[in-house]
Amino acid sequence: MAKKKLNVNPWTHIWFNPRETIRKIVRYNPKFRFFVLSFLYGLPLALHTAQNLSLGEEFSSTGIVIFSLILAAFIGMLGITISTALIYWTGKWIGGEGKYQTVRTAVAWSNAPNVIVVAIWAGMIYLFRDHLFFENFAEFGHEGNDLTFVTGAMVFQAILSIWSFIILVKGLGEVQKFSAWKGVLNVLIPFFLVGVLIWVLTWIFWVCDGMPAAA
């Protein structure tokens, strides 16, 4: 039996032909490059979390980067696994026909644009070192080329986030056998449910915190 071939470069093809690319990846191997994609998802998330927590106050940029590189794949796998489970589960409510593994393929490959996100982070780390990992980094008095780079990085990351979302809904449309608009719904339902859960937990905590202590 002849070995199946992918016949396309998914890293470039998925940008403009997500449905076709996901279809070919699923036929070739739904697990194709899952570890790499998990790493690409997890690394920016780890670095962004370090920035939000102002870890630059306690650790050097070198230490933060090394720690992020070590944890990136695990964080990415965990995030993709949880996202896939929610999307797969709620997708059944609106007639989704995809299997868990094929849905995971669509979710994982929506992170392909993170190749550029990682490159942007690398440039930011090179330029700003420890100063990058402070929560108020964007509020620093950036001037000249620094200001141009920071602004450009923020704009590019926003564009790439939108592109990733488009790839996701197109990919879900392919594996779930419905339109891209229904793919949007498949993504929004889990976000809505998670938002409601967070709101309920916050409300319960607020109510319990406001109750008088027992005598």
pLDDT value of residue 209: 63
pLDDT value of residue 3: 56
52 within 8 A of 135, measured Cβ to Cβ: yes
Q: With 90 as the cut, is the pLDDT of residue 202 above it?
A: no
pLDDT value of residue 2: 47
80 within 8 A of 46, measured Cβ to Cβ: no
Q: For the residues 176-201, what does the mean pLDDT come to?
A: 85
More reliable by pLDDT, 204 or 122: 122
Q: With 90 as the cut, is the pLDDT of residue 156 above it?
A: yes
pLDDT value of residue 195: 83
The per-residue pLDDT for range 69-101, each reduced to its tens digit, is 999 999 999 999 999 999 999 999 999 899 999
133 within 8 A of 61, measured Cβ to Cβ: yes
Interatomic CA distance for residues 103 and 106, integer angstroms = 5
161 within 8 A of 116, measured Cβ to Cβ: no
Q: With 70 as the cut, is the pLDDT of residue 211 above it?
A: no
Q: With 90 as the cut, is the pLDDT of residue 39 above it?
A: yes
Task: Enter the tokens of residue 93.
Answer: 């409510």
- The burial class, CB within 10 Å (0-12 / 13-18 / 19+), for 211 is exposed
Q: If phi over 0 gives left and psi between -120 and 50 gives alpha, with beta otherwise, what is residue 146? A: alpha
Q: With 60 as the cut, is the pLDDT of residue 214 above it?
A: no
Average pLDDT of the chain to the nearest whole number: 89
- The burial class, CB within 10 Å (0-12 / 13-18 / 19+), for 214 is exposed
